[in-house]
Amino acid sequence: MQSSLQSKKKKMKKSSRDMESNLPEHDNRPCFYKIIQVNHKASNSLIIPPHFVTTHLPKRMPSEAVLKGPSGDCWNITVCQQKGNTIMQHGWQQFYQDHSLGDNEFLLFRHNGNMCFDVQIFYKSGCERKIVSITRTHRDSIVEIKEEEIDFSKIGETEPQVQTSGKGKRKSTAEKNSPSSSRKQSRPPAARKSKGNLSKAAEDFTSKFPHFKHCLTRANVEKPFLLAIPCSFVKANLPQARREFTFSTSKQKSWKVTYIYSEINKVFSKGWRGFAIDNKLKMGDSCVFELVAPQKMRVHIFPH
């Protein structure tokens, strides 16, 4: 008991060290923040806090500002005066859309001088967004992929190699436990054991985009049609809030799929059913889910 407490303390110390290491050192640049409220106004323009304008911006303010996103790409924004406020207008909408800003997300604007701002984006949980925009780089990459246009059906024809899980060095709990576990018996044996059965093509798949691989289970392709998302992927790349994603495959078609975030489950639900049916997904098929943009998922299907 005590040992587990100690390990927890160690983990906490480690995570706090990690957090500290991410903090900018002695950043004295003037800054202001904005919390995004999803509405028509927020997506069209952004008011720069008047106090920030008077204290940090030149009186003869240029009519253009530059926002440098977390990706390093820049957006040119028109700055104008409206009803006594200084607002970012033309160009802001593009920045807003490219970053798919969501409700209660937090933006930190650091002024580098010359109306140039570094922008950091944080989820409402307080964690910084790392994957943030369809930047030029990303757009280029998407184009690259389109140009390559891999023929997935051909890849699927390659002999699917069933990967022996072999991860656990020790005896699994299942082996240790008696086979008469009531819960275990209540489930069809085929419903499990899907893990580690990714096809060779799926195993070999690599991408410059964040992605996760998944071998489809019964629950993915039959009622209740849910697709669980690995927590590690959620933590690293997805918002801690419900979002509508656009799923696409190599066949120039897209589906709207709702991503549901809760303390217990992180799943794709609404819309996934349609996607699974339209693509004739079956238990045992391997899929790679590639996050090519904040709310755009490209799905590579490798038939079993």
User: Which residue ranges make up the site for DNA (CB under 7 A)?
Assistant: 1-4, 6-8, 10-11, 165, 167-170, 172-174, 177, 181-184, 186-188, 191-192, 194-195, 214-215, 217-220, 223-226, 228-232, 235, 242, 258, 260, 262-267, 269-271, 273-274
CA atoms within 13 Å, Cβ hemisphere of 75:
25
Residue 102 C-beta: closest distance to DNA, Å: 16
Residue 193 C-beta: closest distance to DNA, Å: 8
Based on CB atoms, which residue is closest to DNA, 23 or 264? Answer: 264
Based on CB atoms, which residue is closest to DNA, 21 or 180? Answer: 180
Spatial strand order of the sheet with 296-302 comes to 211-215, 286-293, 296-302, 243-248, 254-261, 266-268, 227-228
Based on CB atoms, which residue is closest to DNA, 99 or 214? Answer: 214
Based on CB atoms, which residue is closest to DNA, 69 or 239? Answer: 239
Instruction: Give the 3-state DSSP-derived string for 218-271, with helices as H, strands as E and coil as C.
Output: HHHHCCCCCEECCHHHHHHHCCCCCEEEEEECCCCCEEEEEEEECCCCEEECCC
Residue 128 C-beta: closest distance to DNA, Å: 18
CA–CA distance, 240 with 123 (Å, rounded to integer): 7
- Is the distance from CB of 119 to CB of 73 less than 8 angstroms? no
**Which helix (DSSP H) or strand (DSSP E) does residue 43 occupy?**
helix 40-44
Q: The tokens of 257 are what? A: 């799929």
Based on CB atoms, which residue is closest to DNA, 186 or 206? Answer: 186
**Which helix (DSSP H) or strand (DSSP E) does residue 10 occupy?**
helix 2-22
Based on CB atoms, which residue is closest to DNA, 56 or 242? Answer: 242
CA–CA distance, 302 with 242 (Å, rounded to integer): 28
Residue 228 C-beta: closest distance to DNA, Å: 4
- Bridge partners, residue 162, by sequence: none
Based on CB atoms, which residue is closest to DNA, 133 or 286? Answer: 286
CA–CA distance, 38 with 239 (Å, rounded to integer): 15
Based on CB atoms, which residue is closest to DNA, 132 or 215? Answer: 215
- Is the distance from CB of 82 to CB of 44 less than 8 angstroms? no
DSSP string, 124-167: TTSPBPSS----HHHHHHHHHHHHH---HHHHHHS-PPPPP---
Residue 173 C-beta: closest distance to DNA, Å: 4
Residue 220 C-beta: closest distance to DNA, Å: 6
DSSP 172: P
Residue 145 C-beta: closest distance to DNA, Å: 25
Residue 263 C-beta: closest distance to DNA, Å: 6
